Amino acid sequence: MMLIKNKCIPVSYSDPNFVIVVVAAVAVLLSPCLVPVSAAAAAKQELKLRFGRNGEFKILQVADMHYADGKTTLCQDVLPSQVHGCSDLNTTAFLNRMISAEKPHLIVFTGDNIYGFDATDAAKSLNAAFAPAIASHIPWVAVLGNHDQESTLSREGIMKHIVTLKNTLSQVNPLGAHVIDGFGNYDLEIGGVKGTGFENKSVLNLYFLDSGDYSTVPSIPGYGWIKPSQQFWFERSSAKHQREYMSKPEAQKGPAPGLAYFHIPLPEFASFDSTNFTGVRQEGISSASVNSGFFTTMVAAGDVKAVFTGHDHVNDFCGELTGIQLCYAGGFGYHAYGKAGWQRRARVVEATLEKTEKGGWGAVKSIKTWKRLDDGHLTAVDGQVLWSKKSSGNRRKKGIPVV
């Protein structure tokens, strides 16, 4: 059933026109379901992220911390030599090391931030899980996974708590959105270098979406998916960013690159084998059992160059499909399932600007990535270029040096 102008009409997920009907309905929907936005959230929206004077912007992705009750929560799937004293505090220590080593401009937590079943108090577990990011004074954001809401807060409650924490740019949902499924759908604009012609333009756009937890449709088993209302919001946001980027001043010929972050991988992640990705695939692709069409939506929009997810902890690969890189981060948290002897890890993404003819900084030239392992040296592995302005993302490169 779907609410349109206060009336419920039956719809079928098997109807090929389902997505079209729902998206069209959302476009004309007159709804009482406007998500309230606090003054604090509106103020945070005004905080402008931008590239540094070195022409770089670095993002640290943290997937699947599965934080629970701290030092009393034991580690999963570690070597016998690591068992004694291993707890959630190992996850905290790894996060502190990563922040210190990489000094990112933004930290992105891509869901299952806490493991609800083992978290006695969701708010306290969230506070502890995000504590290193908060203490760093680095801007950070979060989306939800499928386990965050299994403690003492609902999915809405989780996001409403997150947005109250210091230094976060997370949003419960888009400002002014009338109807949208889920909680934690929003975008961020990354401005050019201050003092250049691009300082008032977003040269890199970040999209964050709630990929859900589990299907709420009795006839469809398995995990959740990105719904038509979210896709409609994404399409409108992408079109707005592209319109502004290709308008004066400094009008550009094509869209600024975009990156998308959410928890549950798309079915298209199953398109690769060992010959056409960088990293490892050590378990199945746990996507929804239906294809919502979001990958096609992103391809049609034309600006998203890479997608970053978590959920499948012992997969950490990136593979390119139809001009979009589909990337796992690999499991970060020690209370999450993993593989003994296979180190917990985090993914880093770095965008670099091109130099203009006058020697200043212009648009994004390239986007590269690498992962760091939680070993004695925070070893960097699998460096690669995800997208470059010259290649338009159609050529995959390996062996990029990382520092």
Q: Record the pTM.
A: 0.87
pLDDT of amino acid 33: 36
Distance CA 109, CA 403 (A): 22
Q: Compute the distance between CA of residue 285 and CA of residue 325 in angstroms, rounded to an integer.
A: 16
pLDDT at 71 over 90: yes
Between CA 226 and CA 211 the distance in angstroms is: 5
What mean pLDDT comes out for the span 201-218? 97
Closest to 332 measured CA to CA, from 136, 149, 79, 75:
75
Question: Strands across the sheet with 140-143, in order?
Answer: 140-143, 106-110, 56-62, 345-355, 361-373, 380-388, 397-398
Mean of the pLDDT values across residues 226-234? 97
CA atoms of 82 and 69, how far apart (whole Å): 19
DSSP letter for each residue of 80-117:
HHHHTT-BHHHHHHHHHHHHHHH--SEEEEES--B-GG
pLDDT at 400: 52
- In the structure, what pLDDT confidence band is assigned to residue 397 with cuts at 50, 70 and 90? very low
Confidence of residue 89 (pLDDT cuts 50, 70, 90): very high
CA dist 369 and 102 (Å) reads 12
- Pairing type for strands 318-321 and 106-110 reads unpaired
Report whether pLDDT(90) > 80.
Answer: yes
Q: CA 260 to CA 207: how far, in whole Å?
A: 5
* Lowest mean per-residue pLDDT among 190-199, 318-327, 336-345: 190-199
Whether 222 contacts 158, CB under 8 Å: no
Alpha helices in 110-216 (DSSP H): 122-136, 155-162
pLDDT of residue 391: 62
Instruction: Please tell me the chain's helix, strand, coil percentages from 3-state DSSP, rounded to the nearest 5.
Output: 25, 25, 50
Of the spans 61-65, 354-358, 393-397, which averages the highest pLDDT? 61-65
Query: What per-residue string of b and e applies to 8-41 under the rule 16 or more CB within 10 Å gives b?
Result: eeeeeeeeeebbebbbebbeebeeeeebebeeeb
CA distance 209 to 214: 15
pLDDT at 115 over 80: yes
What is the crossing angle of helices 228-245 and 294-301, to 10°? 10
- Do residues 225 and 212 make contact, with C-beta atoms less than 8 angstroms apart? yes
Q: Which of 101, 166, 177 lies closest to 135 in space, CA to CA?
A: 166
Write down the pLDDT at residue 358: 87
Mean pLDDT value across residues 303-316:
98
Pairing of strands 304-309, 258-261: parallel
DSSP state, 72?
A: G
What pLDDT was estimated at residue 392?
56
- Tokens matching residue 224: 């959740």
- The answer to whether the bond into 249 is cis (omega within 30° of 0) is yes
